[in-house]
Amino acid sequence: MLHWVFVLFVFSLIAAFMGEEELSAIAGQITVVLAILFFVMFAIALLFSKSGPSKK
């Protein structure tokens, strides 16, 4: 999951250097959304691991 955030981050940087502002903005928004989702999933996993045995 985390490597996709990194890939999109690099993609947004490349798009920014190429002057594709719209593409860079879209990739940046997707990266932010994925980062937030990853953080939420990580927090939920921590809560479940503290309350009981984790199945993941």
- Its pTM stands at 0.47
Q: List pLDDT tens digits, range 22-34.
A: 776 777 788 788 8
DSSP, residue by residue, 1-56: -HHHHHHHHHHHHHHHHHT-HHHHHHHHHHHHHHHHHHHHHHHHHHHHHHHS----
Report domain extents, the chain: 2-51
Measure the CA–CA gap between 47 and 16, rounded to whole angstroms. Answer: 38
Q: Which residue has the higher pLDDT, 56 or 27?
A: 27
